[in-house]
Structure 1
Amino acid sequence: MNTNKKIFSRKSAPERSARMVETIYGCKWSLTVYQLLQHGKNRPGEMVKSVEGLSTKVLNECLRKNVEFGILQKNVYPEVPPRVEYAVTDFGQKFLRILDGLEQLQNELEAGL
C-alpha cells in the first residue's frame, strides 16, 4: 500500500503580473516614461519634447497601457486648453520597486560575468 500522498501541486507563473512585466519591458519607452515622471515631467507634451525619438502616438500608446495596468493614473483637468497629467499610483510604486529589483539583479549578473 502506497502511503505517500502528494502534498504539492504544480506551481505556475503568476499570469497577470508576468504579462505586465513582459509588456512593460517590451515597450521600449515605459522605463523612460517612469524616469520622466520621477523628474517632474508629467504632461505628455513635456515628455515628447524631453526625449529625442519619442512621438506623441507612441507615447500615448505607452501611457494607455500603463493606465490599463494600474501603474499610472491619468488626471484630466476641465480647462481650456485641456490639461492632462499622469502620476504613478500606489500600485505603480510597488511595481516600480520590483522593476528596480530586476535591474539590480541584472547588474549583479553582469558583474559576475
Structure 2
Amino acid sequence: MNTNEKKFSRKLSPAKSARMVETIYGCKWSLTVYQLLANGINRPGEMVRSAEGLSTKVLNDCLKRNVEFGILERIAYNELPPRVEYKVTPFGMKFIRILDELEKLQDEIDAEY
C-alpha cells in the first residue's frame, strides 16, 4: 500500500439540518405557510381562511414546529383581544432558500423523466 494514499472516513449527513428538512417536508402545510407569509398573510386566522383544507389545529402544530426549529418567530401582542403574528427569521430565510433549491432540483429531475 502506498503511504501517500489518503484515507477517508465515512461522511455522515448533518443530523439536525437533515431532520429539519425531513420534518418540514413531512408536514404538507409548511411550504404553504411560507407562501402565505411571503404574501403578507401572517396571522393564523387569516392563514386558515386563505388556505383551502387547512385546519386551525394542523396550522398550530405546523407553526409550533417551525418556531422550535427557529425558522419562524412568533410575535404575541399584549392586546385584547389577543393578537399573534408570525414572521420568517433570518435563519428561516436561509432555510427557505435551500428548500427553493431542492424544488428546482426536483423540477430538473421531473423534466428528465
The interval holding the TM-score normalised by the smaller chain is: over 0.9
Farther-moved stretch of structure 1 (85-94 vs 3-12): 3-12
- Distance, in Å, in 2 between the alignment partners of 1:78 and 1:88 is 21
- Distance, in Å, in 1 between the alignment partners of 2:25 and 2:60 is 16
Q: Deviations over 1:11-54 (max 9, x none)?
A: 00000000000000000000000000000000000000111111
Report the equivalent of 1:94.
94
SS of 1:40's equivalent?
Answer: coil
Structure 1's unaligned 5+ residue stretches are: none
Report the equivalent of 1:60.
60
Q: TM-score, normalised by structure 1?
A: 0.95
Please tell me the residue identity of whatever aligns with 2:31. L
Alignment: residue pair count: 113
- Distance, in Å, in 2 between the alignment partners of 1:112 and 1:16 is 31
Residue 7 of structure 1 and its aligned partner are, at CA, apart by 3.7
Q: TM-score, normalised by structure 2?
A: 0.95
Please tell me the residue identity of whatever aligns with 2:52. E
Structure 2's unaligned 5+ residue stretches are: none
* RMSD, aligned α-carbons: 1.3
- Distance, in Å, in 2 between the alignment partners of 1:44 and 1:86 is 8
Residue 110 of structure 1 and its aligned partner are, at CA, apart by 0.7
Report the equivalent of 1:73.
73
Report the equivalent of 1:104.
104
- Distance, in Å, in 1 between the alignment partners of 2:94 and 2:32 is 17
- Distance, in Å, in 1 between the alignment partners of 2:8 and 2:75 is 45
